[in-house]
A and B are shown apart, each in its own frame.
Chain A
Amino acid sequence: MTDDPATILTAYKPDLTKARISKRYAAEKRFRMYGLSAIGVAVLVLAILLITIAGTGYSAFQQTHIAIDVNFDKESIDPQGTNDPGVLAEANYRGIARQSIRHAFPEVTGRRDQRNLFRLFSGEIDFQVRNMVLDDPSIIGTTQRVWLKAAADIDMLTKGFIDRSLPEGDRRVNDQSLTWYDKLDRDDRVKKRFNTTFFTTADSREPEQAGILGAVVGSALTLLVTLVLVFPIGVAAAVYLEEFAPHNKWTDIIEVNINNLAAVPSIVFGLLGLAVFLNFFGLPRSAPLVGGMVLGLMTLPTIIIAGRSALKAVPPSIREAALGIGASRMQTVTHHVLPLAMPGMLTGTIIGMAQALGETAPLLMIGMVAFIVDVPGGITDAATVLPVQIFLWADAPERAFVERTSAAIMVLLAFLIAMNLAAILLRKKFERRW
């Protein structure tokens, strides 16, 4: 035997048998399968989620309407024939609408029965008739077939969510109404039309009058406040920490704290907003201003962290190049580093905004969960936001709110997808390689 290391080493041979190689291939194949099945499960769950939401929600985009021959009686609208919008707006349209409905069902005579008959229709039909007159005063004195909006229960009946086989007492629509409905249906006077109300009004107690516009505008105003507050502060903080601050104990503490803040549960920011913005500074409750400030606090760490990593991604050689020809640090940052980091910063900001758009908990704490029937006109008006609107509707007992909840989720998801898509496109467009 020899002690020569080379001789000893050559005695050890690699195992190149087929069994070993096929075992390795099998392991690789197995690993691949694990990955594929993980992705498969994820895609399946996502598909189930989306299909459930879309399946429940799509019907909310349609609303049942009932055709009635409305007599736009000149005597009750504008007896003097002034055509003055002031006069036209003041007329008794409820009376006109009801008169026309009674006319369509001459056999219904009792007061109580007539009241039940009117309940087939939405409480909004007088506005519907009035708007027709205001849009086109020439229809006064004529009789027109108008598609009046049906009540939510009738809408549910049309969409098949009310079980006719149930005993009358357990049903939302009684036998009498069913008879009237069937008569209208036989005459082809019941039709589902596109539900414009859903996109043009704010919340309402009546499902057929409820819409998401108030929540969409509320979300937009809130996000606007968030963006205006957070973007300059976030960019300035990221630039200072990354480009100018000395690396010492203090900046380490700040960095750790920023990272921790990004992980603080959002409801804590809501409590902070309640205690500081509402109770201490006395800012208005339920307002997008306060909502935006709270969401700003919540997204600020995300944006600073994204901004810093975007700045870190700019190669140091660019900074050296600028400094080397006599640019000051400030010029180096504003002329070279910041423009190169901006796409990354914007991407981070959009993702932070998307996160803020989907946030509910902190807004509950500052009163944005209130029932608000007006579309907010400014950042100090009471408002609600999309996810809170979903939360409110999910809580409502009426069957018609179930589909509206899902429809609102679809709208929210559409906004989120659009924002994330914008972030991806931005990144793709300005992506740079060195």
Chain B
Amino acid sequence: MENVAIEMDAPVNDEPMAAEEIKVSAHDVGVFYGEMNALREVDIDFRINQVTSLIGPSGCGKSTFLRCLNRMNDTVDGCRVVGSIIMDGRDIYSKDVDPVELRARVGMVFQKPNPFPKSIYDNIGYGPRIHGMAAKKEEMDELVEKSLILAGLWDEVKDRLDEPGTGLSGGQQQRLCIARAIAVSPEVILMDEPCSALDPIATAKIEELIDELRQNYTIVIVTHSMQQAARVSQRTAFFHLGNLVEQGDTEQIFTNPVDDRTQAYITGRIG
């Protein structure tokens, strides 16, 4: 059943063996905001070279869960995470894991493009600089160039790397944010509704990009658009009211869901 997802124009050249390998696996994960239990007993695996979509109606806890994966919830006052999330055999919530180091390995792209109000070059170069990834100017130049090439933005911005990143169009800004995330060579990329602020053309470009990035990274994407989930992801998980209702191969979820709630959501009866 592997790789039978509905894909737009993905180059199908990834090894099926690697696709089976589990990168991150969550067990019994729950999230509390103070007394409020926002997420309950989530068990899910994310595999290397696959895109996993998290879908569900607003407030179902899918973004909350995504933010558990790089411990972004740590910065929220009164937020408590229970259960365990194992990445490469280590619980990322154990005491000896530094959340800052974890976030360098688990990159994140946000809903609204949020480039730093600095030059395009500095936007990409900031991460490598704070992590000491490039000692020399040439190394940094190479990192910036390769990141932008991988994010499909190089040809559009190569002549104006000194201009502010905030001056780009919305779609370019989002690709800049993706380039910024991959510049620190993460293993996992989390995307929180990356296309919700973009027009259809920019969205198509990002989706294409996600599909290319799949060859090198484990990608988890939260989306409100079921078409998008169907287009870009190999696996899909459906969240509802803080519960992980159903997960499986994208095709199976969209064509033959097991749970009634999933059925209701994908056919547009709840949401």
Asked whether any CB of chain A lies closer than 8 Å to the CB of B108, the reply is yes
- Contact assessment for B100 and A326 in the assembled complex, using a CB-CB cutoff below 8 Å: yes
Partner of A325, one of B75, B112, B180: B180
Partner of B116, one of A247, A321, A326, A329: A321
- Contact assessment for A320 and B72 in the assembled complex, using a CB-CB cutoff below 8 Å: yes
Partner of A324, one of B70, B115, B117: B70
- Nearest residue in A to B111 (C-beta to C-beta)? A317
Tell me, in angstroms, the Cα distance from A343 to B104 when the chains sit together: 30
Asked whether any CB of chain A lies closer than 8 Å to the CB of B51, the reply is no
Given contacts A247-B77, A317-B110, A320-B110, contact A325 B184 (CB under 8 A): yes
Tell me, in angstroms, the Cα distance from A315 to B116 when the chains sit together: 11
Partner of B112, one of A247, A317, A326, A327: A317
Question: Which range contains the number of B residues in contact with the other chain?
Answer: 20 to 34
- Contact assessment for B77 and A324 in the assembled complex, using a CB-CB cutoff below 8 Å: no
Asked whether any CB of chain B lies closer than 8 Å to the CB of A94, the reply is no
Question: Using a CB-CB cutoff of 8 Å, which residues 133-186 of chain B contact chain A?
Answer: 166, 177, 180-181, 183-184
Asked whether any CB of chain A lies closer than 8 Å to the CB of B103, the reply is yes
Residues of A within 8 A of B109 (CB): 324
- Contact assessment for A324 and B126 in the assembled complex, using a CB-CB cutoff below 8 Å: no
- Contact assessment for A321 and B177 in the assembled complex, using a CB-CB cutoff below 8 Å: yes
Partner of A326, one of B75, B77, B114, B184: B184
Tell me, in angstroms, the Cα distance from A168 to B112 when the chains sit together: 85
Given contacts A326-B104, A328-B100, contact A320 B114 (CB under 8 A): yes
- Contact assessment for A321 and B130 in the assembled complex, using a CB-CB cutoff below 8 Å: no
Partner of B107, one of A318, A324, A327, A329: A324
Asked whether any CB of chain B lies closer than 8 Å to the CB of A432, the reply is yes
- Contact assessment for B131 and A340 in the assembled complex, using a CB-CB cutoff below 8 Å: no
- Contact assessment for B114 and A327 in the assembled complex, using a CB-CB cutoff below 8 Å: no
Given contacts A324-B110, A325-B126, A327-B130, contact A318 B116 (CB under 8 A): yes
Name the residue among A321, A323, A329 with the largest chain B CB count within 10 angstroms. Answer: A321
Tell me, in angstroms, the Cα distance from A80 to B104 when the chains sit together: 87
- Nearest residue in B to A315 (C-beta to C-beta)? B114
Partner of A317, one of B100, B102, B114, B126: B114
Question: Using a CB-CB cutoff of 8 Å, which residues 10-52 of chain B contact chain A?
Answer: none
Asked whether any CB of chain B lies closer than 8 Å to the CB of A257, the reply is no
- Contact assessment for A325 and B166 in the assembled complex, using a CB-CB cutoff below 8 Å: no
Asked whether any CB of chain B lies closer than 8 Å to the CB of A336, the reply is yes
Given contacts A317-B112, A321-B116, A434-B166, contact A326 B126 (CB under 8 A): no
- Nearest residue in A to B180 (C-beta to C-beta)? A325
Question: Using a CB-CB cutoff of 8 Å, which residues 366-422 of chain A contact chain B?
Answer: none
Tell me, in angstroms, the Cα distance from A323 to B104 when the chains sit together: 9
Q: Please report the number of residue pairs spanning A and B whose Cβ atoms sit closer than 8 angstroms.
A: 66
Tell me, in angstroms, the Cα distance from A324 to B103 when the chains sit together: 6
Interface residues as binary, A300-344 with B (CB distance below 8 Å gives 1, 0 otherwise)? 000000000000000101111111111111010001100010000
- Contact assessment for B130 and A331 in the assembled complex, using a CB-CB cutoff below 8 Å: yes
Tell me, in angstroms, the Cα distance from A331 to B184 when the chains sit together: 16
Asked whether any CB of chain A lies closer than 8 Å to the CB of B127, the reply is yes
Tell me, in angstroms, the Cα distance from A323 to B103 when the chains sit together: 7
- Contact assessment for A336 and B101 in the assembled complex, using a CB-CB cutoff below 8 Å: no
- Contact assessment for A326 and B115 in the assembled complex, using a CB-CB cutoff below 8 Å: no
Tell me, in angstroms, the Cα distance from A327 to B104 when the chains sit together: 8
- Contact assessment for B100 and A327 in the assembled complex, using a CB-CB cutoff below 8 Å: yes
- Contact assessment for A432 and B117 in the assembled complex, using a CB-CB cutoff below 8 Å: yes
Asked whether any CB of chain B lies closer than 8 Å to the CB of A95, the reply is no
- Contact assessment for A325 and B100 in the assembled complex, using a CB-CB cutoff below 8 Å: no
- Contact assessment for B180 and A326 in the assembled complex, using a CB-CB cutoff below 8 Å: no
Residues of B within 8 A of A325 (CB): 103-104, 107-108, 126-127, 180-181, 183-184
Partner of B181, one of A323, A324, A327, A336: A324
The 5 tightest CB contacts between A and B, nearest first, are A326-B104, A317-B114, A324-B108, A325-B127, A326-B103
B: residues with CB less than 8 A from A are 70, 72, 75, 77, 100-104, 107-110, 112, 114-117, 126-127, 130-131, 166, 177, 180-181, 183-184
Q: List 21 A-B contacts (CB under 8 A).
A: A246-B77, A247-B77, A315-B114, A317-B110, A317-B112, A320-B108, A321-B180, A323-B103, A324-B107, A325-B107, A325-B180, A325-B181, A325-B183, A326-B101, A326-B102, A326-B131, A327-B126, A327-B127, A432-B117, A434-B117, A434-B166
Contacts A318-B114, A320-B108, A321-B180 aside, 6 further interface pairs with beta carbons under 8 A come to A246-B77, A318-B117, A319-B75, A326-B184, A432-B117, A434-B166
